Structure 1
Amino acid sequence: MMKRRTFLQKSGIMLAALGLSQAGLSLLSDRYYQALAQSSPRKLALLVGINQYLFGTPLTGCVTDVELQRELLIHRFGFHPSDILTITDLQATRQNIETAFLEHLTKQVKPGDVVVFHFSGYGSRFGKATLPESSNLGEQKNQKEWTVTNLLLPVDGIIQIKNQSVVNALTEDTLWLLLRSLSTNLVTSVLDTSYTDGGIILQGNLRVRSRPSIITGEITAEELALQDQLKQNSQIISPDPGIVLVAAKPEQVATEGQIDGFSSGFFTYALTQHLWQATPATTVQISLNRVAGTVEQLVGNKQQPQICSQSNPQQKLLTYHVLSPEMLSADGVVMAVEENGKTAQLWLAGLPAKVLQYSLNSLFTTVTPTNSTNQNTPPLQLAIRSHEGLKAKARVNSSNLNDISQLQVGQLVQEAVRVLPHNISLTVALDSCLARIERVDATSAFSGIPHVTSVVAGEQSVDCLLGRVSTTESLLALAESDSLGGISAPLPKSSYGLFSPGLSPIPNTSGEAGEAVKTAVNRLVPKLQTLLAAKLLRLTANEGSSRLGVQAILETIAPSEQVLMQRSTVRAPWPTPKVSLSSTAPKEAIVKLPISSSIQYKIHNYGDAPIYFILLGIDANGCPIALLPTRSTTNLNEQGSKSFATQVITPGETTIIPSNNSPFKWFVQGPPGVVEIQLIFSRAPFSQTLETWENAKISALGRLTTLANPLEVVRSILNDLHQASGNLTEAIATPPDTWVLDVNNWATLSFIYQIV
């Protein structure tokens, strides 16, 4: 996938092998550049993605990453297609990548222009023994040190010259010099790769983007020559490489995997999905916080995105620097119009990953930018009839020929009605470390559990993983047992537990050593129900598409007062209240809260109608929790009895949870771990949910309560949200065994933080 006339028709693709000069960097005629010249500011992007390497195990999601970024930049950020150069697979050699950077970015960019560089592929580390500067020759043997350099591996990252391995990679040093050579400070780099030598290809259900061994040898002379040339041109070297977003911490690995019919890097998917819905007020830190939360839900806590570099950490720059008030939030775009305008092919990369999987029968509407000349064009309603990966086929819900003729390629679409089937299941992967007999027994045990299915790890998108809680010695014995057919060698005594898809242990799921796998599966049934409840609750998340006017803020009140996180519905037809994060608030992608901190949620209704809400979540122990209001004479439920009722917030009102006059104070308790809280809002009371709570005879009201029946509670919430949407089921002819949720009537805001 190499655009821009196959990158200069490959005619000028090669730089001089050595001794680069200013003249040598000019491979295109002045006439060519004059033909492409545009007035500043201009938006330029170089996107690199490599699946098919000439060495090692292929990756599967890097080319999709490039596609995700390209469609986002064109349809959401206004990049011209000809200003986006994509280089993938066999075309992504080191020389091609560096030449493309110099010719497409360095040579064309002007002050004030916007630049995006993206790389998806293998990362690695280059190791070499060096002599410290303070050493003398007599001490050399004992004083050598091992220095490590991070590498972005092109398709030809390791080559053989005279029977010796040579490192033919883009080094991190070179990348920094290239970024600093750009004559604009509006630069964003996205690196969906990692360098840590984990020694593995698969991590749970996910594929790792670190090459599983450190590289030794020598770096190519061409790479070193380019570094020297860039350093010599000191007049173009800036101290500022711009913003560099990386997929994981230095000691972690970046991962990719199946999401729903397509494979992608989880960081790239989470980032681009968020940016489809982001508003002009979104800063880099807020964006990364949202992205990190999504990655945690998809992968677990073993991959945490970071801001690797930023010129001024206090400066709140917009991600990609190009959002303006005229840029509409969207969930996708019309890619093609078929059947004389009756059907459309949609690109739906703005939808949350799990929601995309269940998008059949959902409704979307076309939207017109505020600066468009076609303001009188009525929105069209599109019903999803089929989907494959990120693409969906939709039918126009109109028989009016005038309406149908208005459908156009490039129109943005927004979610209007979300349809979710009742029969959603929890998918559990069987870890590859399990012996064949264990996998057979586990599959048999899972088959008897309603709404739970099991699959082989690595084959498809999953919600969790069943694996061994074992020592390394046990795993080696197990591997030997499996190689012998599971007969000659006894299985090691170890326990079973549940893990995230990225192999993070799920709290309180490991059993006693020596238990049978069928016993373990039956023991885990309550936890599986909790995980299914959490999955269903996440499927209601719609901060980006809800039209309710609601804002929620998480803040600490002790040991100090800080606004840590805020969530707002960005498409409500009223101005969103502005909130400033405290200057002392944590800068991590995942907000960290110390044990014993006192917290509260501040909820503001900035809409025009009363809204009801409830609070549910999963604590650091993996237990389902809810914060239930207290009984009082002024807090009557919908039937008028002195019981608890969902709280209501009137227009313009701000509510604090827990309230200042409540005897319950929310202190953060251990153990360390990740907490996920969902605030669910509706225009209608949660009547069925109240009944479910009443039937459970919960006595600890007015405080955080562990739910014994989380799956029943969440299904009741979905029933209530379905009822709040009125008679849409009949209006849009959806199957009876579905929940139909109108974005005008509900909102679910998610808060994810880490207890330390």
Structure 2
Amino acid sequence: MAQQFSRRHFLQAAGATLATLGWSQVDVLRRGDRYGRVLAQSTPRKLALLVGINDYPQDGLFPPLNGCVNDVELQYHLLVHRFGFKPSDIVKLTDQQATRAGILTAFEEHLIKQAQPGDVAVFHFSGHGSRVLDPDQDFPDGLNSTLVPVDSLLPAGFPQNGGSVQDITGHTLFLLGSALPTENFTMVLDSCHSGGAKRGNLVIRRRSGGSSLTMDEAELAYQEYWLSQLGLSAEDFIQRRREGIAKGVAIASAKRDQYAADAPFEDFYAGAFSYVLTQYLWQQTGSPSFDSTLGNVARTTTQLSFSNQEPQFETQPGSSYDSLPIYFTQKTTPPAEAVITHIQGGEAEIWLGGIDPRNLAAFEQDAVLAAVDAGGQEQGLIQMTQRQGLIGRGRLLQASLPSGALLQEQVRGVPTNVTLRIGLDESLGRDQASARAALAAIPRIEPMTLGQGEVHYILGRMTSDYRQDLAGQPDIPAENSLGLFSQGLDLVPGSYGNAGESIAAAVERLQPKLRSLLAARIVKLTLNPGSSRLNLSVTMAPEGGGQLVASAFTVRGSSTPPPRPGIEQIPIDTAIQFQIQNQEPRDLYLSVLVIDATGEMAVIFPNQWTASTEATLLPAGQTLLLPNPNQDSFRLVTQAPQGTTEVLIVASSNPLDTALRALQGMATRSGVATGPVGIDDPTQIADNLIQDVSRQSQESNETLPVQPVSVTQLAALSITFDVI
């Protein structure tokens, strides 16, 4: 009311003056009303309620979480700095604030009562999910999915004894959505309703539930209140919610029977889905739709958590909201890796929400970020001095910069001595100490206790329980064999030995694989499809042409629209071919690496091992066909094992001399003159590649703590597909 009165008061005061121009006060009010309606349509108010709960009661019945409050910050900074939400229009409820009453009251007061038709509303929840008995039996299992507020305790004696809980049910969320005056509503739920407390090094965002738990009287009374307010009969309520969601779009971090990961990233925790979603949206040059966004973030979420976490979304029945911009909001700011949140003197505090989770280690010391205006023009530089979690600090290199300025990557600092962290699974039992000692003896391998931070892989023993979890998968390792898991306990194919193998023998056998996995981590620290300024594109198709299978390109170096989402499945024995285009006005130097499902690495370009350093050259404006049937004597054919294969394409404006010489030495020792070659020391090759592309290592012989890599000198892309 205050805003409406203020506008009319201004128009009334101006009426006498405007009347002299032939406009009556009625005309002014009519024109003002029309302008107000247009303004409301073109610049809607944007409201958000963000809920994150780490601090659940530590009663042993379900675990506290670590990353949910960070999820709130991830969404907050994204909505404010990339989608134009006003900080005053965002309510955050964390930990002890996020009681059942607190969440419901905030939803009513902030979203339902303040939103107007055409406004934008967002509700995000990160915390535990659960299930309770559904008296209406909407699903075959007879259970209703719920959100768990901080004060919803399990009954005494659970699970032997059941009872009521103070959860917020899916039925209540439907009614709250129905009560919103706007259709432009997005609900994001980073929780799940199945699985145990932990899996590998990840905590599952799920509290135990089931048919022995029921809705409490307050929940049932609250639903009756909203049915009355909305004029819905019980029968209509059941019918409508079975048809679909009430309003807008609902995004879930996993399917109903899957897991949602509370995951460690370097030195902090977050929801795997929330981090991937928000980081992806920081990087986009346009306004991606719900459909394309969820398709693109799903694969990365699965890679960073479990194979059993696939994000989903649902739209209001009869709508075409899947094709609308996510959050129903057009972005007006350029893509960015970070934003300045505070300036004091010549120092800046930075939020690094746009950094790829796999690249965080390269954004600590000596990384350089450029502040840009709304048109993407550089306004000044910041050199980072430290990072803790997603908060960085740096010094201004030139000019004064405002708080809120967006930052784009200019230089990242790849650490010289990157390590591979291997978690020790509880299945090792008393052998954990000997496993720790054996792994610690391998250069750049860092053994870690699970639950103490991010690990890249887990060393464990195949137990009967693990075999049962893997039932139905091909080539399940023998019980009591030793090998590697992912952080979320997915198998690393080809890493398991014979049953009864000793720890010492297993670690010795795994050393080549560990070196390959370390090399892959080093190279992936350079991946920069969102920030590189080089104009490079890659496509993959069946040999001899045909339908495009996959593509990758540098987003800021190209005007090409984003690739379609998803990941392709390619049968074994399929011949494939790559087309790599250098669309720069200068020559680039190229290396193409393939990492199969077992972690083994091979080089498919360069592949002329007796040639000079020009063997890696891709001239300006030229296209490389790989393999080229007119000159290459080999084919690229998918082979076992089944699983994910990743192709890494590294293009540099600097010659790749050091890496090429090392590869030529390996090819000579293998007796290979042309064609792809396996790498017997992949860590050395990865280090050589980083040294070659680093602009500073070309000028100094001393060992530097980090290798600076500029976005104007490097494009590192990835194409991933499943071999089936």
Instruction: With the length of structure 1 as denominator, give the TM-score of the two structures.
Output: 0.79
Secondary structure of the structure 1 residue equivalent to 2:339? strand
Out of 140, 151, 174, the residue aligned to residue 156 of structure 1 is: 151
Unpaired stretches in structure 1, ≥5 consecutive residues: 1-36, 134-144, 476-491, 582-586, 640-644
**DSSP 3-state at the match of 2:426:** coil
Q: Report what 1:21 is aligned to.
A: none
1:617 and 1:675 in contact (8 A); partners too:
yes
What are the residue-to-residue correspondences of 1:517-556 with 2, within 5 Å? Answer: 517-555=503-541
Aligned partner letter, 2:481: S
Cα separation, partners in 2 of 1:174 and 1:432, compared to 1, 3 Å: same
CA offset digits 1:466-494 (Å, max 9, x no partner): 1111213999xxxxxxxxxxxxxxxx981
CA deviation map 1:361-411 (0-9, x unaligned): 333334232369xx7xx632222222211112212225xxxx2xx222111
CA distance in 2, matches of 1:165, 1:677: 53
Report matched runs for 1:386-401 at 5 Å. Answer: 386-398=386-398
Q: Which range is displaced more, 619-628 or 225-234?
A: 225-234
459 and 556 in structure 1: CA distance in 2 versus 1, 3 angstrom threshold: same
- Whole-Å Cα distance in 1 between the matches of residues 162 and 489 of structure 2? 37
Pairing 1:467–2:460 present: yes
| Counterpart Cα distance in 1 of 2:257 and 2:138 | 25
8 A contact 1:124–1:215 mirrored in 2: no
Give, in whole Å, the separation in 2 of the partners of 1:704 and 1:275. Answer: 37
Instruction: Select which of 571, 592, 595 maps to 2:556.
Output: 571
With over 3 angstroms needed to count, the CA separation of the structure-2 counterparts of 1:280 and 1:132, relative to structure 1, is closer
Maintained 8 Å contact 1:384/1:393: yes
Is structure 2 residue 436 aligned with structure 1 residue 450? no
Q: 1:337 to 1:129 in 2, by over 3 A?
A: closer
Match in the other structure for 1:673: 643
Deviations 1:194-233 (A, max 9, x none): 111x2x3221111111124536232123433444555562
Deviation at 1:49, TM superposition (A): 0.6
SS of the aligned residue for 1:155 comes to: coil
> Could you give the per-residue CA deviations for residues 19-76 of structure 1, whole angstroms, max 9, x where no partner exists?
xxxxxxxxxxxxxxxxxx9884121111111111246321111111101111111112
Runs of at least 5 residues in structure 2 that lack an aligned partner in the other structure: 1-38, 469-477
Structure with higher helix content: 2
Residue of structure 2 in register with 1:46 after alignment: 49
Matched, 1:424 2:418: yes
Whether contact under 8 Å (1:50, 1:62) holds in the other structure is yes
**Which residue matches 2:185?**
187
- Are 2:593 and 1:616 equivalent residues in the alignment? yes
What is the one-letter code of the residue matched to 2:308?
Answer: K
Letter in 2 for 1:397: L
Larger CA deviation: 666-675 vs 274-283: 666-675
Counterpart CA distance in 1 for 2:577 and 2:172 is 46
**Contact 2:634-2:675 at 8 Å conserved across structures:** yes
| Aligned: 1:357 with 2:357 | no
CA drift of 1:536 comes to 0.4
Report the residue type matching 1:688 in the other structure. Answer: T
2:569 aligned partner: 592
Q: Classify the secondary structure of the residue corresponding to 1:387.
A: strand
CA RMSD after TM alignment: 3.5
Aligned pair partner of 1:637 in 605, 612, 621: 612
Distance verdict in 2 for CA 1:313–1:590, change over 3 Å: farther
User: C-alpha separation between the residues in 2 aligned to 1:427 and 1:625?
Assistant: 22
Query: CA, structure 1 residues 391+215, in 2 after alignment: closer, same or farther (shift >3 Å)?
Result: farther
Q: CA 1:381–1:129 in structure 2 vs 1: closer, same or farther (change >3 Å)?
A: closer
Alignment equivalent of 2:169, drawn from 168, 171, 175:
171
Out of 593-602 and 155-164, give the one that drifted further: 155-164
Matched, 1:515 2:498: no
Match in the other structure for 1:684: 654
SS of residue matched to 1:518: helix
Name the SS for the 2:427 alignment partner.
coil
In 2: Cα distance, 1:455 partner to 1:244 partner: 38
C-alpha contact 1:427 1:452 (8 A) present in aligned 2: yes
Partner of 2:142: 147
For residues 155-554 of structure 1, the aligned pairs below 5 Å read: 155-158=150-153, 165-196=163-194, 198=195, 200-214=196-210, 216-228=212-224, 230=226, 233=230, 241-280=247-286, 282-309=288-315, 315-324=322-331, 326-338=332-344, 340=345, 342-370=346-374, 379-398=379-398, 403=399, 406-435=400-429, 437-472=430-465, 494-554=480-540
Contact 2:192 2:256 in 1 (8 A): yes
Q: Distance in 2 between matches of 1:711 and 1:252?
A: 36
* Residue type of the alignment partner of 2:561: K
Task: Identify the residue that residue 123 of structure 2 maps to in structure 1.
Answer: 117
Deviation, structure 1 residue 618: 1.5
CA–CA separation in structure 2 for the residues paired with 1:473 and 1:329: 43
For residues 636-665 of structure 1, the C-alpha deviation after alignment (integer angstroms, 9 at most, x for no partner) is: 5336xxxxx1240423x4444334645655
In the TM superposition, what are the counterparts of 1:698-713 in structure 2 within 5 Å? 705-713=677-685
> Equivalent residue of 2:428, what SS?
coil
- Tell me if structure 1 keeps the 8 A contact 2:696–2:707: no
Q: Give the 3 Å change call, closer, same or farther, for CA 234–590 of structure 1 in structure 2.
A: farther
Alpha-carbon distance, 1:746 to partner = 0.2
Distance in 2 of aligned mates of 1:427 and 1:150: 36
Query: Residues of 2 paired with 1:621 and 1:63: CA distance?
Result: 35
Distance 2:467 2:574 in 1: 40
Residue aligned with 1:66, SS? helix
Change (3 A) 1:97 1:532: same
Q: Per-residue displacement from partner, 1:590-617 (whole Å, max 9, x unpaired)? A: 4434445554434333333232322213
Measured in 1, the distance between the counterparts of 2:451 and 2:438 equals: 20
Alpha-carbon distance between aligned partners in 1 of 2:136 and 2:227, rounded to the nearest angstrom: 22
SS of equivalent residue, structure 2 residue 54: coil
Secondary structure, aligned partner of 1:365: strand
Q: Give the equivalent residue in structure 1 for 2:17.
A: none
Three-state SS of the structure 1 residue aligned to 2:118 is coil
- Cα pair 2:592 2:606 within 8 Å, conserved: no
Which range is displaced more, 112-121 or 666-675?
666-675
Other-structure match for 1:745: 713
Task: Provide the C-alpha distance between the structure 1 equivalents of 2:231 and 2:448, rounded to a whole number of angstroms.
Answer: 56
Count of aligned pairs between the two proteins: 657
2:26 corresponds in structure 1 to none
CA distance in 1, matches of 2:570, 2:167: 40
Q: Distance in 1 between matches of 2:156 and 2:485?
A: 44
- Looking at structure 2, the residues matched to 411 and 322 of structure 1 have their Cα atoms a distance apart, in angstroms, of 20
Greater Cα offset, 684-693 or 222-231: 222-231
1:499 Cα offset (Å):
0.8
Percent identity reads 33
Q: Match for residue 695 of structure 1? A: 665
Relative distance call for 1:649 and 1:124 in structure 2 (3 A) is farther
User: Does the C-alpha gap of structure 1 residues 423 and 164 become closer, same or farther in structure 2, counting only changes over 3 Å?
Assistant: closer
Partners in 2 of 1:90 and 1:699 — Cα distance? 66
Partners of 1:704 and 1:214 in 2: how far apart?
54
For the residue of structure 2 that corresponds to 1:433, the secondary structure is helix
Q: Deviations over 1:76-97 (max 9, x none)?
A: 2211001111111122122322
Change beyond 3 A, Cα 1:468–1:680: same
Cα distance in 2 for residues equivalent to 1:525 and 1:474: 24
Q: What residue is the counterpart of 2:693 in the other structure?
A: 721
SS in 1 for 2:694: helix
